[in-house]
Amino acid sequence: MSMVPPSLLCLGLCLSQSTWAQKGNLPPPLMTALPGSTVPAKSPVTLLCQGPKQAERYRISRVGSPEPMDKEEQITSRKTNALSIAEMTFDKTGLYHCSYQRGGHWSQFSDPLQLVMTGAYSKPSLSSMAGTVVAPGETVKLQCVSKINYDVFILTKEDGDHVTQNQSSVPNDGGRQTIFLLNPVSSTQAGTYRCYGTFHNDPYVWSQPSDPLQLQVEGTTDSPSLTQPRHSTAPTAWHPSVETQVRLSLAALLLLVMVVLLAEAWCSQGGPSVKSDEPPPQWTDKRR
């Protein structure tokens, strides 16, 4: 099986849609995958077909096959619009779509959902050729490299379950690589990236994910500011805790009491005695 160009995919969907069950003009449902459409091998996933409350039953199928894989599971009663896959395997990957029935008519197909299995092969390596902290407007090059001769590399962003870029590989030092461009980079592109490798004959079976790469864009809330140094050496102000403040207050009060007691004792003894080597004033010799 080879990678399907979007134009051919659209053509195939349109042809199957026009010939399957005489669909009416009902709006298409929304198809989603929980917890996501990129699924580790042997992990569970659930496909949901979300239509209106008036839907009488639902139908989930793989693109290219006009009939469901299992009618008992996929043509169901009202509100039972889920297909649960206990373990993700090679044979369950591919493009899926769904529709619902209302008033004897089937709706249009949902947009296709790409169900991918990961973890089939060794992970590639992902790095940023400009560093992981960049300024807005820069061109960022993310390099995905592997010793395995993958035909294609896929770049994904973790805070959105979708393929960010999909590119063919080129030779690199006994292996394969590709360069993904983020140009120009903006605050919305800050986040965690991973890349995968795959082959043309199994485009929905991917390798293990690369180690995560955290990309920061200066000026965003999660990144260093353009007007501030990345590493500050200014001392941090000391903020004592409430318990420390109470102890300091008690110590100051005790010291004040001791000073008052010492002052009272000093006054009760008449103060310090005055010593002088000069004779009393009446003995001063005034004849000079």
Across the range 218-247, mean pLDDT stands at 52
CATH number at residue 178: 2.60.40.10
Place of tokens 């599971």: 73
Contact residues for 128 (Cβ-Cβ < 8 A; gap 6+): 134, 140, 141, 142, 143, 213, 215
- pLDDT surpassing 80 at residue 40: yes
Does the residue 155 lie in any domain? yes
Q: Which of 98, 118, 138 is the last residue in one of the domains?
A: 118
Does the residue 4 lie in any domain? no
Q: What is the residue-wise DSSP string for 58-82?
A: EEEEETT-SS-S-HHHHS-STT--E
Does the residue 287 lie in any domain? no
Which two three-digit tokens encode residue 35? 């917890």
Distance linking the first and last C-alpha atoms of the chain: 131
Amino acid letter, residue 215: L
- pLDDT surpassing 90 at residue 76: no
Place of tokens 């008992």: 72
| b (16+ CB within 10 A) / e for 265-275 | eeeeeeeeeee
Per-residue pLDDT tens digits for 200-211: 999 999 999 999
What's the sign of the alpha-carbon dihedral 66, 72, 76, 82? negative
In whole angstroms, what is the distance from residue 177 CA to residue 141 CA?
12
Strands 38-40 and 113-118: parallel
State residue 10's pLDDT score: 42
Contact residues for 170 (Cβ-Cβ < 8 A; gap 6+): 176, 177, 178
Residues 39 and 112 in one domain: yes
Calculate what percentage of the chain has a pLDDT beyond 90: 50
- pLDDT surpassing 70 at residue 133: yes
Q: Where are the alpha helices (DSSP H) in 69-122?
A: 71-74
Q: Which of 174, 190, 217 is the last residue in one of the domains?
A: 217
Amino acid letter, residue 50: Q
pLDDT confidence tier of residue 70, bands split at 50, 70 and 90:
low
Element holding 250 (H helix, E strand) = helix 242-268
Does the residue 38 lie in any domain? yes
Amino acid letter, residue 248: L
Does the residue 40 lie in any domain? yes
Residues 127 and 200 in one domain: yes
Residues 108 and 139 in one domain: no
Q: Which of 118, 140, 170 is the last residue in one of the domains?
A: 118
Across the range 263-286, mean pLDDT stands at 58
- Of 137, 142, 138, the closest CA to residue 153 belongs to 142
In whole angstroms, what is the distance from residue 26 CA to residue 21 CA?
13
Residues 126 and 89 in one domain: no
Which two three-digit tokens encode residue 104? 């004897």
**223 vs 159, which has greater pLDDT?**
159
Does the residue 130 lie in any domain? yes
Across the range 236-247, mean pLDDT stands at 60
Does the residue 263 lie in any domain? no
Does the residue 267 lie in any domain? no
pLDDT confidence tier of residue 24, bands split at 50, 70 and 90:
low
Q: How many domains does the chain have?
A: 2
Q: Mean pLDDT lowest for which of 90-99, 167-176, 203-212, 275-284?
A: 275-284
Residues 80 and 32 in one domain: yes
Write out the residue range of the structural domain in which residue 67 sits. 26-118
Which two three-digit tokens encode residue 177? 């690589």
